[in-house]
Structure formats: C-alpha cells, structure tokens
Amino acid sequence: MKRIVNLNSGDSNSIDFKPVFLMLNDELSKIGESLELICAGGYVMQLYGFRGTADIDAFYQSSASIDRIIQKVGDAFGINRPDELWLNNSISNMNPTPPSKYCNVVHQLSHLVVMGVDLIYLLGMKFASARGQDMKDLVEIIKCNEELQPLTLMSKLGEMGFDIDISMLIDAFEGARGMEWLDAFYKENEDEICKYY
C-alpha cells in the first residue's frame, strides 16, 4: 500500500487538518492520553485529491476527556458546527471498524495516529451506504481510475467482506464511463455477470 499524502484539492470546503492534528496531539500529551483514528468519508476523499471536507468521520474510542479535547481543538480553529464536532465517530454506528490491513498511516505523532482507509475499501463503504453523495463520489473515483474494472472490483470488495449489489456497481461504472461502455461490458461479460443474479 502506498502512503497517503495530503493533497490540496482546491475545494473551498477543504481544510488543511495537519495543524489541527498537531494541536490535538499536544492536547492529548498534556493529559497522557493516546488516540488512534481510522478516517473514512470526505477526509479520505480529500486525501486522494477529490472533494474536500469540513469535518472528519473516524473510527476511534471515545471518552469524556477525548471529546472535551476534540471540542477544544475545534473551537480553537473555528471548525466545530453547532450540532457536530469537527471529529466524530458516528460512522461506527453504521459501519464495522475497517481492518488495519486496509488502512494507511497519514500522520504518526507522539500521542496520535491518523490512518485513512485505502481507496478500494472506501469504495466498498460508499457502495454499502449508497446515499446520494456516496453515489456521486463513486462515479468520480471510477472516472479518475481507468484501471478499475467492475468484476475485479466486485471480487476485491467481496474479499474485504462487503456484500455489494452488482447492479449498483455496474450503475456507478456506467455513470463514470457512459452507455457505450456499458453496452460493450455486457456483451463481453454476460456469462460472468449472470453468476451474480
């Protein structure tokens, strides 16, 4: 797996979270706590150079002291919202924690490790939730990654533990590559596609 680098997407919603993480690390060190984040969603999209985000959805162990620090850091940078902190773990209510083998280290500090799910795992999470923005993100990622192929992706996602509806996956590819591509894909892979129905 390649190491993720922080890319500036030029999106007005994107935030450079590095100084935010540095302050979070400093605050954690003051109380002798450590924190490991597994980030997903918009932040990981931003890491891969796609749309930006103004908050971070992550898997982590919450506690009253951790939540206070997250709020303090968010207040210092003006990035908390009235109804939600800049860093939250509500994603864990809808998804299992990604296995570490599908995560890449983004920042490793003295009291804070920030990881992001790899791009294929992110696709799996987006197919699993399939909300409006997720479908738009899927189309955008597929458009920018010509090497992605539907049946290979379906197999990889299955190995990662995702149970994805093949028609949804093909719809995302059709959105990214067009009707001509879809017609050719069905003609070339009819027997293989039928195995999924």
Residue 12 φ/ψ region, left for φ over 0, alpha for ψ in the -120 to 50 degree band, beta for the rest: alpha
From the centroid of its chain, how far is CA 53? 11
- Give the per-residue pLDDT at 53: 85
- Give the per-residue pLDDT at 2: 30
Q: What is the DSSP letter of 86?
A: S
Q: What pTM was estimated for this model as a whole?
A: 0.86
- Give the per-residue pLDDT at 152: 96
pLDDT tens digits for range 73-120: 999 999 999 899 999 999 988 889 999 999 999 999 999 999 999 999
Give the Cα separation of 91 and 104 in Å (integer).
18
Residue 22 φ/ψ region, left for φ over 0, alpha for ψ in the -120 to 50 degree band, beta for the rest: alpha
pLDDT tens digits for range 1-54: 232 333 344 445 678 999 999 999 999 999 999 999 999 989 999 999 998 888
Q: What is the mean pLDDT of residues 148-169?
A: 95
Q: Which tokens sit at 29?
A: 């060190």
Going by C-alpha positions, the residue among 83, 1, 92 that lies closest to residue 41 is 92
- Give the per-residue pLDDT at 14: 74
- Give the per-residue pLDDT at 101: 96
Q: Which residue has the higher pLDDT, 41 or 59?
A: 59
Going by C-alpha positions, the residue among 123, 128, 126, 131 that lies closest to residue 149 is 123
Q: Model confidence at 196, in pLDDT bands (50, 70, 90)?
A: confident
Give the Cα separation of 59 and 100 in Å (integer).
11
**Count of CB atoms within 10 A of residue 15's CB?**
18
- Give the per-residue pLDDT at 13: 63
Going by C-alpha positions, the residue among 116, 108, 69, 67 that lies closest to residue 90 is 67
